Amino acid sequence: MCPPTCPPADRPPDPTERHDIIRRTSRTVDLEREFDATADRYDLMVKLNPGYHEHLHAAAHTLCAWLPRDRSVRLVDLGCGSGASTVALVDELGVEAAADAAILGVDASDGMLAVARGKTWPAGVRFQHGTAEDIAARAGQWQLDVPLDGVFACYLFRNVKDRDAVLASVYEVLAPGGWLVTQEYSVAGSRRSTALWSAVCWAIVIPLSAVLTRRTKLYRYLWRSVLRFDPVARFEARLAAAGFDEVTVTTVDGWQQGILHTFAARRPPAS
């Protein structure tokens, strides 16, 4: 049963009162447990999200455009979940390049990884249980061939405890000239985007999760996590502070314009 601090499902909170929303609904959620519990229906949920896979492919295309074409590449899909983002990477690399590439998908949810491993992959794709914070410290344990040509991270950074620490770890494992591309929701600072995001979550996403998964905690958390995430300019500043250059950000078309953003950033080439 939902505790008193949780907005009732049939009466969403006023989306313009962003900081009060966060204060009233901020609770600890065991993300690994919730992702494990909903893993078998997660692909179905995102399939019903118009543009979800198209946006992943567009972000993967951004990363692949910067990768070397004269040799096999080394990539990590950080926070790979059920493998939807890994599929986008493989597709955008192309059949031959993907067959030669070394791609490691990393996620903290065993349930999501089980779904990912159940799909058909080129020989160089494998999956590893772990957290984003561990990427530099456990590169050897994970048999990760560093330095990497690229890191792909979709819908990850709003879910990590220390964004700056994760960015520092990603920077450490990238080769000079390597790229990080991350796709993330950000609505802070925009009343329109905040209102639209909350309206879609409470009118569509959360009720749909109740029907398909019989669990709404994860999707209520995901709603809140977007409200709490950095404004676009703040995350750009984090990337620059971590040492990245050539930082760019684009937003998608459609109803998610100004809500869903793709960030690209490069570890500077060696002098």
Q: pLDDT by residue (tens digit) across 215-225?
A: 899 999 999 99
Q: pLDDT by residue (tens digit) across 98-140?
A: 999 999 999 999 999 999 999 999 999 999 999 999 999 999 9
Give yes or no for residue 34 having a pLDDT over 60.
Answer: yes
Would you list the DSSP string of 98-160? HHH-EEEEEES-HHHHHHHHTS---TTEEEEE--GGGTTTTTTTTT--SSEEEEEEES-GGG-
36 and 217 in contact (C-beta within 8 Å)? no
Domain layout of the chain by residue ranges:
18-266
pTM of the prediction?
A: 0.88
* Mean pLDDT on 229-257: 97
**What pairs with residue 125 in β-bridges?**
103
Dihedral of alpha carbons 51, 52, 58, 59, sign: positive
Give yes or no for residue 6 having a pLDDT over 90.
Answer: no
User: Nearest Cα to 202, choosing from 2, 4, 8?
Assistant: 8
Give yes or no for residue 22 having a pLDDT over 50.
Answer: no
What dotted CATH number matches 18-266? 3.40.50.150
What pLDDT does residue 12 have? Answer: 53
What pLDDT does residue 29 have? Answer: 63
